[in-house]
Structure 1
Amino acid sequence: MNILISNSSDEPIYLQIVNQLKEHIVKGELAESEPLPSIRNLAKELKISVITTKRAYDELEKEGFIVTVAGKGSYVAAINTEMLRETKVKMIEEKMTEAINEAKLVGLSLKELQDMLKLIYEGW
């Protein structure tokens, strides 16, 4: 599992961890019931506070992405398909927003952008 922390990001470190772990889970890179590193080990590996790592795991558990078993550790939760779909749709919306902002910067019209999207969607 590869988690990259950026100290120059506006996003808090715990959220960087949360978002990257969610992405690994949604993409299937972390399978259901797969154990996660312990809070202490992840903190040590990332060279961050144990409190920060705990906050990330707590957030992931609250959102239903992981489960924690006392004395055993944290594991990837069984994801219900509706939640998985919603998470993927949110990721797509974020990427589309980024693309729209770039398109506006170079002066593409909505029509040009729609045509481009249609071409890409249909496989050129």
Structure 2
Amino acid sequence: MRNELLLSPHSSVPMYAQIVEQVVAKVMSGAWQAGAPLPSIRELASDCQVSVITVKRAYLELERSGVIVTRHGKGSFVADALDATRGLATAEFDSQLQGLLDAAARLGMARNELLDRVGEAFDASPGASQSTTTSTDKGTTA
């Protein structure tokens, strides 16, 4: 897998974050399949004309998110699809949750009010109410 990343030194997004975003996009789109090897840290740094430290930081972030796995002495590889998808979904959820908490703090919303609003939204959500209904239905018929 040759370097297919296009980094912009003029972007306000840090270089390591550009690497993370582009690798995630390639994995999620299926362009980079589970188990595929990533370029070595040194190779990618050379190809992208960034420091080894920048690529290492990106790879560590990707590994924490479950997008890639690193095997000592073997290199870094795209994680199994289930692991990568779950890691990305969890990271996205955490980011959205933090945004919710930040917005609630700006509004001066009390914890109970926030929890009530989240509960109401959960109950009104088609996916959540369906899973709740399914659980309830199973409990009722058993």
Q: SS where residue 80 of structure 1 aligns?
A: helix
Distance 1:46 1:67 in 2: 21
Q: In 2, are the aligned partners of 1:5 and 1:46 still within 8 Å (CA)?
A: yes
Across the two proteins, how many residue pairs are aligned to each other? Answer: 89
Q: Which residue of the partner structure matches residue 18 of structure 1?
A: 20
5+ long unaligned stretches in structure 1: 91-124
Distance 1:69 1:45 in 2: 22
* 2:27 pairs with 1:37: no
* 2:11 pairs with 1:9: yes
- The superposition leaves residues 1-46 of structure 1 with CA deviations (integer Å, 9 ceiling, x where unpaired) of 4101111111000000000000000000000000000000000001
> What amino acid does structure 1 have at the position aligned with 2:42?
R
Measured after TM superposition, the shift of residue 85 of structure 1 is: 7.9
Q: Which residue of the partner structure matches residue 83 of structure 1?
A: 86
> What amino acid does structure 1 have at the position aligned with 2:74?
K
Q: Which residue of the partner structure matches residue 65 of structure 1?
A: 67
Aligned-residue CA RMSD (Å) = 2.1
Distance 2:46 2:28 in 1: 25
- The superposition leaves residues 45-88 of structure 1 with CA deviations (integer Å, 9 ceiling, x where unpaired) of 0111000000000000000000000011000001327627838x
Q: In 2, are the aligned partners of 1:66 and 1:75 still within 8 Å (CA)?
A: yes
Q: In 2, are the aligned partners of 1:32 and 1:77 still within 8 Å (CA)?
A: yes
5+ long unaligned stretches in structure 2: 94-142
Q: SS where residue 8 of structure 1 aligns?
A: coil
- Change in Cα spacing, 1:85 to 1:36, as seen in structure 2 (3 Å) is closer
Distance 2:88 2:54 in 1: 28
Which structure's residues are more often helix, by fraction? 2
User: Which structure has the bigger radius of gyration?
Assistant: 2
TM-score, scaled to structure 2: 0.57
> What amino acid does structure 2 have at the position aligned with 1:54?
K
Higher RCO, Cα 8 Å, sep 6+: 1
Distance 1:47 1:84 in 2: 28
